[in-house]
Structure 1
Amino acid sequence: MSIPPPADWSRLHHAYGRATDVPGQLAGLADPDPAVRHAAVSALTGNVYHQGTRWPASAHVVAPLVTLLDTPGTPDRVTVLRLLRAVAVGDLPDDRLPFDPAQAFAEADRIGPADERAVIRVLFEEDDPDLDSVADVADAVALRWAADAYRAAARHTRSLLGLLPDPDPTVAAHAAALAVWYPHLPGLPEALTAVPHDRTPARASANLALAHLPGPLTRAERGALSACLGSPDATVRLTAAIATARRRPTALPDEALTILVHADAAEVPGSVPGWSRPLRGHTARALRHLGL
């Protein structure tokens, strides 16, 4: 389906109808008043990410969100990144990594403009909507909207790489956690490897991202993770061990195995910013990957 110009919000729909209120909500994300920003986040999330569902308008908020991230002085950039992640990836769990968009969205690609128009008409335009009339395509149409949002974000992944060295380590952590959903992004492994070892939580998130990339570790990745295994920070050490176990299971250094095996006895932080799975969950998955 051809995408209307981003400014023509009246032609787009979100969860509650025409998307004419979206530009004001996007502007509210940059407002100096925290209350205005909070209201904008709440409204925009409900509109373009309603209960995990993306809508025709969802793909069109990606570029404005990236512009906010690229603009110096934008407040609450972590919140903007969380919203971008919700729009681009939705509720997909990290066990879908490494992510294969062609496989994930295969069913969506059979959907044509007529199917989308039929669903929009039933949801928003008919006084007595007949939901059964679109039951056979509704799920695939929703998947198509999710695919459109994912692909819209793919056009801006260079901006995500630019956030990995951000002075705010929490911003960098969220950027790494989102960038890994685009595993074939040129320069991604190098950018993740280059995150300084003393920048927790950015380094910890970069380690988890490296854990979920396809293929064996490169020499540079091995070097970075090996250095992290000796970090004074427990989170950096553990995430490095997780990444090494996931990507190099047949040649795991003893140091990494020791860190993983003794993680239960250590004080392990709950989670790394940008990742919903607790670190203990990542550790358990790494041990299972090793057959332990």
Structure 2
Amino acid sequence: MINEYEKLLAGLDDVDWAGLSHAYRSAEDVPGHIRTLCGSDDEAREQAFTSLFCSIFHQGSRYSASPVAVPFLARIAVAGPAAAREDAMWLLTRLAVDWHDEYDVTTGINVAGWRAAAAEVGPEELLPWYEEEVAAATDADKRAQAQELRDWGAAGNSPDSRWSALQSYDAVLAELPGLLVLLDDDDARLRTRIAYLLAWFPEFSGTSLPCLLALAAREEDPVAAATALLAAGLLGPISTVGDAAPYLDAADPLMRWAAATALIRLAGLDEASVGPGLLGRAVAELAAAAREPFDRVTDYCEGDLHAHIERALGALPPGSDPAVVRETLDAYLPRIVWDYSGTRTRRAFEELFPAPQPHPAPRYADLTAAQQLLLGDLAGHRHTWLIRSSADRLRELGLPHTQEDLQSFVGDFTGSYGSHSFGLNGSQG
């Protein structure tokens, strides 16, 4: 343990970790992992982060130990060892908003709705039900189990993920004032991480919004700047249109995409305040980004630019120019970088292959550019389950239906969109 970091862990041993839980029952091991984050052993530190991700944030679930760990992680993010600070920010972001909350929205998180739903399944609401279960149990073993659950609920716990996740979210919310110093950190990755985290806290926007706009204006790192601008668009009131619109003329296409995405979200608040001309420019910018994706991407939508464009397009107010919308659809539809539910892939097949291929099947080079892109992305996709889940549809269409056969079919073809790089994911963006 490096003494200079001891002050960051003040109070760590005062917590009754044994009385708290994580994915593997007792949280007694949590303080040891947190202490290791401030040590000098890089391998041990990486293992400690892995253990924390798997225990206090297990596949998106949060536990009673999760919010208690937050203040210590926040201190490490601000002033801990350089090797630990970014990972601490990653863990804080996950504890606040897991990937379902974070990546399924292009309009910002509805915290008011989240709080209302969580209130209905909190410990106080469920305690009467637990007590009824205890009273109704006729078997001694069942009564003991029901009593154990009742005592667990009486201690302030709820089995509902909406309630338990909100406890961690609020713990991170309480740390945001201290984390704001990261907006001026020397490390661009940490500036990016705090800008990204702030995007999901509308209740803090009175403080964070001016900071994010200022960061977008002065930031030299394009990813940090775009992250801050889009965060401002997710948080801001309709008056933020005036702040975001000038970036449609930015030299960097990533900034233009961030501005366009922010404006589409703001148009959902009040379409008239954005205006059809500005909204049309925003949609056109999405189409341009989908046609020629850039190498640098933000972490929004898990870094999947085309999926994020699709979701932004879905948030468009009624009455948008159908021709421009169709152009954007045609540009993003074939690109499958990550599709955790398979819905984007199924829709792409429906749109791009409406009927089975003739027999014998055409050569890859004879397909349309969009069809080539779709099959090329799937041939090199890093998640093989996506191809397996699409096998029946590929077979019905008269197309190769295993990843190996797709790779043979696609071969080393190089078209106007560039060559497909198998083993990465087929993405050029």
Contact 1:179/1:188 (8 A) holds in 2: yes
Equivalenced residue count is 277
Q: Name stretches of at least 5 consecutive residues in structure 2 with no aligned partner.
A: 1-12, 131-140, 326-429
Distance, in Å, in 2 between the alignment partners of 1:53 and 1:230 is 42
Hey, which of these two has a bigger chunk of helix by percent?
2
In structure 2, do the counterparts of structure 1 residues 282 and 107 end up closer, same or farther at CA, with 3 Å as the change threshold? closer
Task: Determine if the alignment matches structure 1 residue 71 to structure 2 residue 91.
Answer: no
Is 1:199 the counterpart of 2:211? The answer is no
The alpha-carbon deviation at position 189 of structure 1 amounts to: 1.2
> Are positions 1:93 and 2:92 aligned together?
no
* Equivalent position of 2:171 in the other structure: 152
Which stretch shifts more, 175-184 or 105-114?
Answer: 105-114
Partner of residue 109, structure 1: 119
Instruction: Give 3-state SS (helix, strand or coil) of 2:60's partner.
Output: coil
Matched, 1:242 2:252: no
Name the CA distance, whole Å, in 2 between partners of 1:257 and 1:150.
33
Q: Which residue of 2 aligns with 1:166?
A: 185
1:189 aligns with 2:209: yes
Preserved contact between residue 16 and residue 47 of structure 1 (Cα < 8 Å): yes
Distance in 1, matches of 2:77 and 2:58, equals 22
**Which deviates the most, 28-37 or 46-55?**
28-37
Other structure's SS at 2:264 match:
helix
Tell me which amino acid in the other structure corresponds to 1:150. Answer: Y
1:108 and 1:80, CA in 2 relative to 1: closer, same or farther beyond 3 A?
Answer: same
Partner of 2:311: 285
Query: Cα deviation per residue 1:8-44 (whole Å; 9 max; x = unaligned)?
Result: 2121111112211111101112222221111101111
Query: Contact 2:103–2:300 (CA<8 Å) still a contact in 1?
Result: no
Q: TM-score, normalised by structure 1?
A: 0.81
Q: How far did residue 277 of structure 1 move?
A: 5.0
Distance 2:311 2:295 in 1: 16
Find out whether 1:262 has 2:288 as its counterpart: yes
Structure 1 position 193, deviation (Å): 0.3
Deviations 1:231-279 (A, max 9, x none): 3322122111211222145425365443223222223347313651522
Partner Cα distance (1:26, 1:112) in 2? 28
Asked whether the equivalents of residues 174 and 273 of structure 1 are also in contact (C-alpha less than 8 Å), the reply is no
Do the aligned residues in 1 keep the contact of 2:89 with 2:193 (CA within 8 Å)?
Answer: yes
Q: Quick check: 1:228–1:237 contact (8 Å CA) kept in 2?
A: yes
Cα distance in 2 for residues equivalent to 1:177 and 1:260: 20
Query: What is the alpha-carbon distance in structure 1 between the residues aligned to residue 103 and residue 45 of structure 2?
Result: 29
Distance 1:199 1:8 in 2: 42
Among residues 239, 251, 267, which one is paired with 1:217 in the alignment? 239
Give 2:250's aligned residue.
231
User: Greater relative contact order: 1 or 2 (C-alpha under 8 angstroms, separation 6 or more)?
Assistant: 1
Against the structure 1 CA distance between its residues 30 and 72, is the aligned structure 2 distance closer, same or farther, given a 3 Å change threshold? closer
Counterpart residue number, 2:4: none
Q: Give per-residue Cα distances to partners, 1:162-186, cap 9 Å, x unaligned.
A: 2223222221222112112111213
Unaligned runs of 5+ in 1: 119-126
Q: 1:115–1:141: 8 Å Cα contact kept in structure 2?
A: no
How far did 1:215 drift? 3.0
Matches of 2:78 and 2:57, distance apart in 1: 22
Q: Distance in 2 between matches of 1:49 and 1:115?
A: 25
Deviation at 1:6, TM superposition (A): 6.2
Alpha carbons of structure 1 residues 279 and 66: separation in structure 2 relative to 1, 3 Å: same
Q: Per the alignment, do residues 8 and 202 of structure 1 end up closer, same or farther by CA in structure 2, a change over 3 Å counting?
A: same
Q: Give the Cα–Cα distance (whole angstroms) in 2 for the partners of residues 157 and 62 of structure 1.
A: 11
Taking a change above 3 Å as real, the CA distance of residues 66 and 81 of structure 1, as seen in their structure-2 partners, is same
Contact kept in structure 2, 1:10 and 1:19, CA below 8 Å: yes
Q: Distance in 2 between matches of 1:178 and 1:29?
A: 21
TM-score (normalizing by structure 2): 0.57
CA-based RMSD of the aligned residues comes to 3.3
1:210/1:281 CA distance change after superposition, 3 Å: farther
From 208, 230, 237, the counterpart of 1:208: 230
What secondary structure is seen at the aligned counterpart in 2 of 1:75?
Answer: helix
For the 8 Å contact 2:77–2:84, the answer to whether it is kept is: no
* Contact 1:49–1:86 under 8 Å retained in 2: yes
Residue of structure 1 equivalent to 2:161 = 142
Does the Cα contact within 8 Å between 2:199 and 2:231 map onto a contact in 1? yes
Q: What residue is the counterpart of 2:43 in the other structure?
A: 35
